[in-house]
Structures are given as C-alpha cells and as structure tokens.
Amino acid sequence: MLMQKNTIPTLSIFIEPQLLEFMESNIWHKELIPAKLIVNEIPYEIGIIFRGNHTRKFSKKSYSIDFRTINERFGAREIHLNAEYCDPSLIRNKLSFEFFKRIGCIAPDCRYVLMEINGIPSGIYLQLESVDDLFLQKRQLSNGPIYYATSHQTNFSLLTTKGEPKGSLISGYLRKVGDDKDDFDLEELITKINTIPRNDFGKEIVKKLDVKKYLKWLSGVVCTQNYDAFIQNYALYRNGVTRMYEMIPWDFDATFGRDWNGKVMKHNRVPIEGFNTLTARLLDVKEFRIQYRLLLEEILETSFTISELEPRITILHKLLRPYILLDPYKKHTIEVFDNEPEFILKFIQNRNNYLRQHLNDLT
C-alpha cells in the first residue's frame, strides 16, 4: 500500500523537457509519452498521457499512467491520477465511491497522493484504480467484458442527447476488456432496451441486465446527484457467470451539490426518477419501481444521512488540509476548502429531505 495512516505519499514523475513541452502543447495527444515514476527512491518506467475531456483545458490536468505490465507495488498495469480541479473540497469523488460501496455497489479504490513533475509540485491528486481485469480479480468477480462510457452518447438510447441518430449504437464506449463479439452483445443490449414491447420489458430485460444491481447504482447516483452519470462516466461490466450487465460508478467529482465546473447545483436538480432511456423503461415496470422505492427509502434512513457521512467528511477534510497549502492550484482557495464540509452536509440534508418528499412519486 502506498498510503500510510494520516499521511499522503509523493509520486515524482520525470519527463524529458522537450516531451513535456510536446504534451502541454498537444493536450489531446493519445500516444503514451515515456517517463519515469519514482516512489520512495524506487524508479519505474512508465508511459503517461493526459486524461479526461473538458478537464484537459484546465491548468491542473489529470493523467493516466501505464506501467506496460503488472506493477506489484501498485497492484495494477494502469492507474489514473485525477486533479479534482473543479471540486473545491477534493473529497467528492472518494466520498462518493465509499458511499457506493456502503450501499452494496462495486466501485474503484482510490487514495490521495502528492504529485510533482520534474521536481515541480503539482499538488494533491486522487489516485484511482483502473476498472479492468485486475479490478475483477481483486474482487473475485468472474471475467467479462468491461466498457468505459466516455461521452454523452452512452445514454442507452438509439439517439444522441441532441435527438440525432447515432452513427453506432456503441458510440462513446471504450472497450477495456473483451473482444469484437462483446461489441455485438452490447449492441444487442441497447437494441433490446429500445425495442422490447412495454408489456414484455420486465420479463425480458432481466435476461440481459442485473436489475437489482442497476437499481442500487441508480440510488447512489440519485442521492449524490451526479447529473452526468446517466449519460456517461460509468463502466459497464458483463458478469461472466450470470451473463448480465452491471454498472460501476466512475468520475464522481461533480456531486454533493456542485456540477462538473464546481458551480453550485441546487439539491433538486436531478429528479428522484433520474433519467436516460434505460432508467425510464425500468421504472415504467411497477415491480422494479417498487423495488427502487424500498431500496432508496432504506438508503435515506441508513446510509445517506448526516450522522453516517459527517465523520467520514471530517476525516477526509482533516487529512487533506495540511497539504492544501502545498498545492499550487489550490492554496489560494483555502477559505473555500474550509467551508466545504458544511456545504456538503447541508446538501445531504436538503437532498435527503427532497427525496423523501418524492418517494410517493414512485408508487
């Protein structure tokens, strides 16, 4: 493990100056740039690229690191370093993943690190586990295809969010694990979601989708109010034993009352029913709608509460605070950082009340 109790380790990355200049001038470059990672004076040869979409335009950028083989120290072939630039608290992603695990979903592990490039501090980053075959092995899950939903076209519809026909039913999906045959199966899933007759949907969709797990994921998204998660920023995994699809949360910094640009998002921005074609069709089935209501009601009583989440928020805030002043991109916003725990707790209270008031909408 890289993290020790109440400390944040440093990852030192060294890139040849001309290659670093090339990266910074070509932020959409997709080929790995050779570099060296040093942790506790131990060097590792790596490839590095920027990651993310709109976040690449920010001064503090996120990275993907590829070890090219399994790195035993990290227990991974690949790790992601998220800048958390738009989250003034820097804890929303981690807090969300912990919340998802608490309600019975699988989610990536993550830890905080300090990062420096060619000896220059880059600040606090969230080191995220890659969702791949090793992710499945660590959780003793059967091997199966995994797709990253990388754009808003991954909305489980035949149309884009602009109402235009898609060039491909699997546009926006990046296959992380699997082969061409799995692409056909994913196309079949999306076709069925959109074409199964209403009266048959409930009994047919359970052959392709683990509905109970989807409803848990939906509950997590609706509670944390991740507007983007319905149309992108998730991983889709088909269990090798059940042959059914499951959702895995990904990129949850735009949660707990702030959007993807860090702006305030009102607690009632996302309705209790959520949205996207798959969610709408599932909740059109009375049996599934009742399951969702009961599940959400229990979560609002037990897991998505101030008493449950406040201790963890306090711990994460105290862990990060000494390092904020070491972050060249965050040290000038220390007052905002200090106000974020109260902001998040207020959102939890307001969101909890809002969802309770709308439980009857699911009858």
Which structure tokens are listed for 54? 């709109």
Residues of the chain with pLDDT below 70 are 1-6
Q: Across the chain, how many H-helices and E-strands are there? A: 10, 11
Phi then psi for residue 123, to 5 deg, are: 100, -165
Identify whether the C-beta of residue 329 lies closer than 8 Å to the C-beta of residue 59: yes
Q: Which of 129, 344, 169, 153 is nearest to 233 (CA)?
A: 153
Identify whether the C-beta of residue 44 lies closer than 8 Å to the C-beta of residue 72: no
Does a structural domain hold residue 328?
Answer: no
Q: Which of 119, 8, 124, 128 is nearest to 74 (CA)?
A: 128
Does a structural domain hold residue 271?
Answer: no
Phi then psi for residue 73, to 5 deg, are: -65, -40
Taking only the tens place, the pLDDT of each residue in 329-350 is 999 999 999 999 999 999 999 9
Given strand 245-249, what is the order of strands in its sheet?
173-177, 146-149, 234-238, 245-249
Sign of CA dihedral 304, 108, 152, 209: negative
* CA–CA distance, 238 with 152 (Å, rounded to integer): 21
Model-level pTM greater than 0.85? yes
Taking only the tens place, the pLDDT of each residue in 250-297 is 999 999 999 999 999 999 999 999 999 999 999 999 999 999 999 999
Q: For residue 6, what pLDDT is reported?
A: 52
Q: How many domains does the chain have?
A: 1
Does a structural domain hold residue 20?
Answer: yes
Q: Where are the alpha helices (DSSP H) in the chain?
A: 17-25, 92-102, 133-138, 180-195, 201-205, 211-224, 277-283, 286-302, 306-324, 334-357
Does a structural domain hold residue 69?
Answer: yes
Q: Which of 127, 111, 123, 109 is nearest to 51 (CA)?
A: 127
Residue 271 neighbours by CB distance under 10 Å: 12
Residue 363 neighbours by CB distance under 10 Å: 8
* CA–CA distance, 136 with 182 (Å, rounded to integer): 17
Does a structural domain hold residue 116?
Answer: yes
Does a structural domain hold residue 176?
Answer: no
Q: For residue 2, what pLDDT is reported?
A: 41
Residue 21 neighbours by CB distance under 10 Å: 11
Q: Could you tell me what percentage of the chain is helix, strand and coil, using 3-state DSSP and rounding each to the nearest 5?
A: 40, 20, 35
Q: For residue 5, what pLDDT is reported?
A: 46
Element (H, E) at 120: strand 120-129
Q: For residue 84, what pLDDT is reported?
A: 96
Does a structural domain hold residue 5?
Answer: no
Range of the domain at 121: 10-82+107-129
Element (H, E) at 56: none
Does a structural domain hold residue 329?
Answer: no
Is residue 170 classed as helix, strand or coil in its secondary structure? coil
